[in-house]
Amino acid sequence: MASDLDSGSHSVYSLHYHLILVTKYQHGVLTEERTNFIHEVIDGFAEKYDVEVSHLDGEDDHIHILFKTKPTTNLVKFVNTLKGATARRVRNEFPELKDEQVDSFWNDSYCLISTGQVSLDVLTEYVENQRR
Task: Give 73-116 pLDDT, tens digit per residue.
Answer: 999 999 999 999 999 999 889 888 776 655 688 999 999 999 87
Q: What is the pLDDT of residue 14?
A: 86
The correct answer on CATH 3.30.70.1290 for the domain covering 12-128 is yes
Q: Calculate the CA 78 to chain-centre distance.
A: 9
Rounded to the nearest integer, the mean pLDDT of the chain is 85
